[in-house]
Structure 1
């Protein structure tokens, strides 16, 4: 049997099937599996950690399913794509539930501050940030291939990442202030938005991941 090419991690949360189906749409000939088996994840060529939900639940389920070590190994050994909570969990600490993340990168996960959620006209902006927003690419990266700067992607979140190291940031979004919506380092690329819900720009990102050779 040929090696599994994309493992989508199943930790009991998130819209896993829609992510897997989006990959099948852009790369119908590759082997994709939604799995909670650490051995399968370890053997896969590429790993995707998608998700929705709260950070405390995410970390709890990772440990309950014995997935922490497999995820940590994937972030250092193979192409890794984090989506939404799959971005947030990579950092040291989250204000959501006051919990520790995986600590792959230094930084905090912060809640949108009520006193700053004011638009240019003085109106209140809603939390969660839900809907389409432009993404400003802060530096060139293979994962942005074929995706014009300021393309719009779909978001659903109340928390955002604040990396300690500015060089980690691969893109920002304004809501209403600029915050990091994508990070990149070595074999890891992770985004706050949902590419599987982001029309052609999102599908192109997934297509790029399948072909990415960091």
Structure 2
């Protein structure tokens, strides 16, 4: 099996690469590329994202044909994709970081700044926080409710259809921290920085 981590110059993705390689060992081939043909032919895709919604969307769009290839992979061919952090946020129709920016539109919704309640909550939301499992998600197999995951973000994804939400975290409000919609999976937290539980989530995705 082949898993492709999309490298579209969206910040340092070495920890994502290292975690997937550690979990995959020799049984799965992990490739890091923006080569469209390799993405088309792979079994699963990981879409990382660091920085702002706007900068990540622009970086995706700057590689000719990449968004079309991802749309075909996810929407037409229904192959599994895992979005991490801004990789998840880009599933939305629209994001409001820096300026209003159009997202991929895979999971209808918007990305808005977390309400810090007049400074009561620090932004970015950074560090370890518990997750509340809302539904049985394939990537949460053998993960206990209230497990701690590692977060770094100031914006939250608000999906229109609440049935896609697989986990939330409590920070100022119930923030969506994981979604599952058919073959599309996303985490707002960083599984690659979330110790053993995070590696378990990566393993669950690899074993889908």
Pick the TM interval, shorter chain: over 0.9
The whole-number CA distance in structure 1 between the counterparts of 2:11 and 2:130 is 23
User: Hey, what does 1:68 align to over in structure 2?
Assistant: 67
Runs of 5+ consecutive residues of structure 2 not aligned to the other structure: none
User: Hey, what does 2:23 align to over in structure 1?
Assistant: 26
Q: How many residues align?
A: 203
User: Hey, what does 1:36 align to over in structure 2?
Assistant: 34
User: Hey, what does 1:106 align to over in structure 2?
Assistant: 108
Are the equivalent residues in 2 in contact too, given 1:14–1:50 (CA < 8 A)?
A: no
The whole-number CA distance in structure 2 between the counterparts of 1:129 and 1:142 is 26
- Please, what TM-score do these two structures have when normalized by structure 1? 0.91
User: Hey, what does 1:121 align to over in structure 2?
Assistant: none
Q: Does 1:151 align with 2:147?
A: yes
User: Hey, what does 1:208 align to over in structure 2?
Assistant: 204
The whole-number CA distance in structure 2 between the counterparts of 1:156 and 1:61 is 20
The whole-number CA distance in structure 1 between the counterparts of 2:116 and 2:201 is 32
Query: RMSD of the alignment, in Å?
Result: 1.2
**Post-superposition shift, 1:116?**
5.9
The whole-number CA distance in structure 2 between the counterparts of 1:116 and 1:86 is 28
Change (3 A) 1:59 1:197: same
Change (3 A) 1:14 1:75: farther
**Post-superposition shift, 1:100?**
0.9
- Please, what TM-score do these two structures have when normalized by structure 2? 0.94
* Matched residue SS, 1:147: coil
Are the equivalent residues in 1 in contact too, given 2:123–2:154 (CA < 8 A)?
A: yes
Q: Does 1:132 align with 2:128?
A: yes
User: Hey, what does 2:162 align to over in structure 1?
Assistant: 166
The whole-number CA distance in structure 2 between the counterparts of 1:71 and 1:164 is 22
Are the equivalent residues in 2 in contact too, given 1:8–1:16 (CA < 8 A)?
A: no
Q: Which runs of 4+ in 1 moved over 4 A?
A: none
Are the equivalent residues in 1 in contact too, given 2:132–2:146 (CA < 8 A)?
A: yes
The whole-number CA distance in structure 2 between the counterparts of 1:179 and 1:16 is 24
**Post-superposition shift, 1:129?**
0.3
User: Hey, what does 2:94 align to over in structure 1?
Assistant: 93
**Post-superposition shift, 1:8?**
0.2
**Post-superposition shift, 1:27?**
1.3
The whole-number CA distance in structure 2 between the counterparts of 1:55 and 1:176 is 21
Runs of 5+ consecutive residues of structure 1 not aligned to the other structure: 118-123
